[in-house]
């Protein structure tokens, strides 16, 4: 390994040769065909046993931020249950191999987060396959841009809320009876929660909801020793962005508006999830950790 996540670097120059390319994929999009490839930390993430013996369930673990988090968790010593859509089997299989190589027990549980029965079953199968559960990462999400509210289909609005918000509720509710003191719940929100784009009215609204859900539930669960936090990514290079997350003409300049002047890579998100999952963040509760290249947040 020539570089790892601890290597001293200038963040403004990191990924300097990376240029997002215009392209379109049908939803949900695959990392396998994303050009250029996203950095999931495959070559760089070095574990130091920060999650040794832990048992994690991650939704959207096949690609992007969820995959980078899964790789980091496995290299930190955790076993991982992966949720993803059946269409994403190719991405999921590749990530599962990386986790297995790291020595993790991997439980693959494909299904649709919009299905309440799947969400409940997902938790049951994760607990069964891992022999318990003490980390839950609600990360799976839907983002499809729309220019004009009068053309925003009711079904898209409902799907975005069901995938991003209802599934988080169903899964968290089903997981709670299994979570022992010391467990961590981490939700993926977004800079869109407080800096919404005019073309992401539905999506941005779900992310504000996720932030508030996190802060409310965190207070309820703190006395039980279960910490709830969120990570709020800025513009990150993932399949979500090229499967109608953004209009095509915006892809080339994706991320350049951040103070750092570039898009982030999934590998740059994973350490935030590791920190919030690990016992080292014992006094961090109800927090939203912004990983966004420097854009101001409330
Ligand atoms: P991604 O496409 O790699 O991951 C999203 C995942 O969500 C998919 O892999 C898929 O497995 C899952 N998913 C979507 N709909 C589903 C459904 N109906 N059933 C089951 N699974 C479903 O993209 P990503 O950017 O890594 O997204 C991960 C999270 O990060 C999302 O919550 C997204 O909103 C959030 N986020 C992304 C960015 C960004 O710029 N990429 C910025 C802020 C927040
Ligand atoms: Mg995917």
How does pLDDT run across 27-77, given as a tens digit for each residue? 999 999 999 999 999 999 999 999 999 999 999 999 999 999 999 999 999
> Is residue 38 within 6 Å of ligand 1 at its C-beta?
no
Ligand nearest to the CA of 240: 1
pLDDT for the residue numbered 1: 52
Q: 6 an active-site residue?
A: no
How does pLDDT run across 260-276, given as a tens digit for each residue? 999 999 999 999 999 99
Q: Write b or e for each residue in 174-202: b if 16 or more Cβ atoms lie within 10 A of its Cβ, otherwise e.
A: bbbebbeeebbbbbbbbbbbbebeebbbb
pLDDT for the residue numbered 193: 98
Name the catalytic one among 45, 84, 203, 273.
203
Q: Which atom belonging to ligand 1 lies closest to the Cα atom of 84? A: 11
Q: Distance from the CA of 223 to the center of ligand 1, in angstroms?
A: 31
In the chain the domains, ranked by start, together with CATH numbers, are 48-291 (3.40.50.720)
pLDDT for the residue numbered 2: 81
- Its pTM stands at 0.99
The DSSP-derived string for 8-43 is ---TTTTTTT---------TT--GGG-SSPP--STT
CA 57 to chain centre: 12
Q: Which atom belonging to ligand 1 lies closest to the Cα atom of 63? A: 3
Q: How far apart are CA 170 and CA 126, in angstroms?
A: 14
> Is residue 142 within 6 Å of ligand 1 at its C-beta?
yes
Q: Which residues contact 276 (CB under 8 A, 6 or more apart)?
A: 184, 186, 227, 229, 231, 284, 287, 289
pLDDT for the residue numbered 72: 99
Low-confidence ranges of the chain (pLDDT < 50): none
pLDDT for the residue numbered 272: 99
pLDDT for the residue numbered 176: 98
Q: Distance from the CA of 64 to the center of ligand 2, in angstroms?
A: 7
> Is residue 187 within 6 Å of ligand 1 at its C-beta?
no
* Helix runs in the chain, H state only: 64-75, 89-101, 116-130, 154-161, 167-175, 201-221, 239-240, 248-251, 270-277
Q: Which atom belonging to ligand 1 lies closest to the Cα atom of 237? A: 41
């Amino acid at each position: 390994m020539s570089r790892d996540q601890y290597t001293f670097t200038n963040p403004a120059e990191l990924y300097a040769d990376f240029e997002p390319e215009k392209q379109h994929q049908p939803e949900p999009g695959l990392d396998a065909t994303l050009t250029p490839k996203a950095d999931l930390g495959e070559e760089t993430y070095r574990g130091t046993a920060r999650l040794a013996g832990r048992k994690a369930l991650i939704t959207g673990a096949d690609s992007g931020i969820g995959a980078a988090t899964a790789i980091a968790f496995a290299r930190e010593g955790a076993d991982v249950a992966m949720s993803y859509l059946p269409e994403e089997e190719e991405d999921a299989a590749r990530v599962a191999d990386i986790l297995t190589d790291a020595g993790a027990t991997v439980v693959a549980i494909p299904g649709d987060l919009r299905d309440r029965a799947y969400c409940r079953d997902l938790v049951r199968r994760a607990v069964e396959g891992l022999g318990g559960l003490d980390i839950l990462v609600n990360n799976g999400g839907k983002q499809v841009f729309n220019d004009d509210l009068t053309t925003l289909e009711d079904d898209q609005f409902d799907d975005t809320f069901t995938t991003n918000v209802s599934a988080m509720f169903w899964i968290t509710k089903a997981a709670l009876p299994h979570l022992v003191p010391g467990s961590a719940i981490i939700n993926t929100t977004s800079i869109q929660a407080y800096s919404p784009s005019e073309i992401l009215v539905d999506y941005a609204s779900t992310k504000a909801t996720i932030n508030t859900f996190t802060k409310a539930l965190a207070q309820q669960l703190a006395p039980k020793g279960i910490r709830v936090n969120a990570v709020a990514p800025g513009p990150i290079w993932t399949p979500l962005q090229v499967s109608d997350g953004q209009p095509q003409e915006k892809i080339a300049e994706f991320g350049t508006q951040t103070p750092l002047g570039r898009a982030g890579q999934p590998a740059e998100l994973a350490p935030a999830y590791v920190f919030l999952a690990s016992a080292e963040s014992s006094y961090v509760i109800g927090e939203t950790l912004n990983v966004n290249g420097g854009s101001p947040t409330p």
